Structures are given as structure tokens and as C-alpha cells.
Amino acid sequence: MPPSILGRKGSEYSDIQTPQQLVEKLQAAGHKAEMKEFKAGTRPAVEVRAPSAGLAVMFVKKEFCDKITPGPEKKK
């Protein structure tokens, strides 16, 4: 989903494009927001959590969203 989907949470979130923008917006509204980067593996991502705002969002680059992950190997 594009970041614009955050606009459903409130119009103040409709212009968010980056995880840092979301953290700043949440903190400005008085929420404790945490940002965690996941760099291991083939699909780097950034998670933003703000339980008091009811948000937990994972940001992943668009080119990684369309790829199909190989399933687990089957044991013979």
C-alpha cells in the first residue's frame, strides 16, 4: 500500500512519505513513536510503532512489494 493510506487514520497523516516524517508527526501530536530498521535479509524495511496512536506501520520500498518470496524448502 502507498504511504497515503495513512490518511485513513487522520487527514494530518495523508502527506506522509517517509518513516521519519511519520515519527515527527506522531511526536508533535504527543505520542511516543519508535522507529526500528530491519536491514538483514533481502528486503530492508523500517517499522514505526506508536501504540498510543494505534499505529504500527512497516515501510518497504515499492520494488520489494511486488516480488514473491520463495517458500520454505521441503525436506525429503
What Cα–Cα distance (Å) separates residue 69 from each residue in 22, 31, 61, 72? 28, 34, 15, 9
Q: What is the pLDDT of residue 34?
A: 95
pLDDT recorded at residue 26: 94
Cα 42 to chain center, whole Å?
Answer: 16
CA–CA gap between residue 61 and residue 32 (Å, rounded): 25
Per-residue pLDDT of the chain (76 residues; tens, 9 = 90+): 788 888 888 888 889 999 999 999 999 999 999 999 988 776 789 999 999 999 999 998 877 766 665 556 666 5
> Does the model's pTM come out above 0.85?
no
Residue 33, sorted as left (phi over 0), alpha (psi -120 to 50) or beta, turns out to be beta
Q: What pLDDT, on the 0 to 100 scale, is given for residue 39?
A: 82
Domain ranges of the chain: 3-65
- The single residue listed with the C-alpha cell 520500498 is 61
